Homo-oligomer: A and B are copies of this chain.
Amino acid sequence: MRATVIHGERDIRLEEVPHPQLSSGIDAIVRVTAACVCGSDLWPYRGVTPTDRPHRIGHEFIGVVEEVGDQVSKIKVGDFVIAPFYDCDMTCANCLNGVSTSCLHGGWWGQDDREGAFADGGQGEYVRVPHADGTLVATPSHPTPEQIPGVLTLSDVMGTGHHAALSAGVTTGSTVVVVGDGAVGLCAIIAAKRLGASRIVAMSRHADRQALARDFGATDIVESRGDEGVAAIKAMFDGIGADCVLECVGTEESMDQAIRSTRPGGMVGYVGVPNGGAELPIRRLFNTNVGVNGGVAPVRNYIEELLPEVLSGAIQPGKVFDLQLPLAEVAEAYAAMDERRATKVLLRP
């Protein structure tokens, strides 16, 4: 089969690799019908994080179950399934606490130094899925072509935006600022609206993303950043800032923007993978009672809640995909995102 392998900076290749095999009684083989490129895939692509040796890449995929291990009981051959961006058993203490990203037995796609088994990435034709009963969620029926993009966002970006909003404590009447207008930031707008936010400010400088942000529920757009951006946000909210600020980028600048845009006693919900050397400024947080909550989003725990709304069209996170390419053009998919020609690219094996 064919799968995507990253060899180093800006070196993405589609290669012929061994077809995955069941290696335990609890795994499954999934034929991928749609996958995508994540903003976080751009860190190794850009060389910001090093690639020590070639390895599989991609962690967002949906598809059809082709084989299951003999101890798999919930997932059936022929099911259409959503995989979160990690595997998990959904039975350990952390999974039961709603934090499946900290599953005591799970791991990450493409990380092949676990269980002695080869770990597939999501940007390929097939994937061996460990802990199939925990990891995978079957849809009630096979999605229509129109439903596919939205369903695919439940692998990562929609659940991650939801986690940012939940972590910040967004509830009925909250005032919200979203820092970051990538796919996750845009999904965070959907999540904030869904949770009842009264006002949602999108910080964005791109006309097309601004339009999508408004379509998703943003009530205001702020283009400025840094001190000017903070001043603009404060001016909108009693001079003190917003109740909840969703940090969806992961840089030092974006976190600083988020913390300073939050009113005293408010909360930053952050899901951007921390990038750069800065830690969190405890004195500023202490003096203003601004909390920081969030992390790597346990999207598996959110799929059941969000799926019906995606299938019904009540929320339309699939609109974040503004380019679709065959898997054969995966290198172009990375380039398009790297060069900001696309917000998010859907790949079809």
Residues of A within 8 A of B (CB): 93-94, 97-99, 101-102, 104, 167, 238-240, 255, 263-265, 267, 270, 273-274, 278-283, 285-296, 298
Which of B94, B238, B265, B285 contacts A280, CB < 8 Å? B285
Residues of chain B lying within 8 A (CB to CB) of residue A282? 255, 274, 278-280
Q: Is A267 within 8 A of B293, CB to CB?
A: yes
Chain B residues within an 8 Å CB radius of A290? 295
> Inside 8 A of A286's CB, which chain B residues have their CB?
270, 273-274, 294-296
Besides A93-B263, A270-B286, A292-B292, 18 more A-B contacts (Cβ < 8 Å) are: A93-B239, A99-B289, A102-B240, A102-B264, A102-B265, A102-B289, A274-B282, A274-B283, A278-B282, A279-B281, A280-B282, A280-B285, A280-B292, A286-B295, A289-B298, A290-B295, A291-B293, A293-B293
Contacts of A98 in B (CB 8 A): 265
* Bound-complex Cα distance A296 to B101 (A): 32
A298 contact set on B, CB distance < 8 A: 265, 289
A283→B273 CA distance, assembly (Å): 8
Shortest C-beta distance, A74 to chain B (Å), equals 24
CB <8 Å contact, B296 and A265: no
A274 to chain B: closest residue by CB: B282
A279 CA to B285 CA, complexed, in Å: 10
| Residues of B with C-beta under 8 A to A293 | 267, 291-293
Chain A's interface: helix, strand, loop or mixed, by majority?
Answer: mixed
A267 CB contacts on chain B under 8 angstroms = 293
Q: Which residues of B contact A94 (CB under 8 A)?
A: 240, 263-265
- Residues in chain B near residue A263, CB distance under 8 A: 93-94, 97, 99
Given A279-B279, A280-B285, also A291-B167 (CB < 8 A) = yes
Report the bound CA distance from A263 to B282 in whole Å.
21
Q: Which 4 A-B pairs have the closest CB atoms?
A: A291-B293, A279-B279, A102-B264, A99-B265
Residues of B close to A292: CB separation below 8 A = 280, 285, 291-293
A99 to B239, CA, bound (A): 15
Task: List chain B residues, Cβ under 8 A from A288.
Answer: 102, 295
Residue of B nearest to A168 (CB): B291
A267, A285, A294: residue with the most chain B Cβ atoms closer than 10 Å: A285
Name which residue of chain B comes closest to A285, CB basis: B295
With a cutoff of 8 Å between Cβ atoms, the chain B residues found around residue A167 in the complex are 289, 291
Query: From A283, which residue of chain B is reached at the shortest CB distance?
Result: B274
The answer on a CB contact under 8 Å between A101 and B289 is: yes
A265 to chain B: closest residue by CB:
B99
Minimum CB–CB distance from A90 to chain B (whole Å) comes to 14
CA distance A267 to B283 in the complex (A): 18
Bound complex: CA A263 to CA B283 (Å): 24
Shortest beta-carbon distance from A80 to chain B in Å: 29
B289 and A291 form a contact (CB under 8 A) = no
Which single residue of chain B is at the shortest CB-CB distance from A289?
B295
The answer for the CA separation of A114 and B85 in the assembled complex, in Å, is 54
Residues of B within 8 A of A101 (CB): 264, 289
State the CA gap A143–B274 with chains docked (Å).
52
Give Cα A290 to B102, complex, Å. Answer: 11
CA A297 to CA B79, docked complex, whole Å: 52
Judge whether B264 and A99 touch: CB under 8 Å: yes
Collect the chain B residues with CB atoms within 8 Å of residue A283's CB: 274
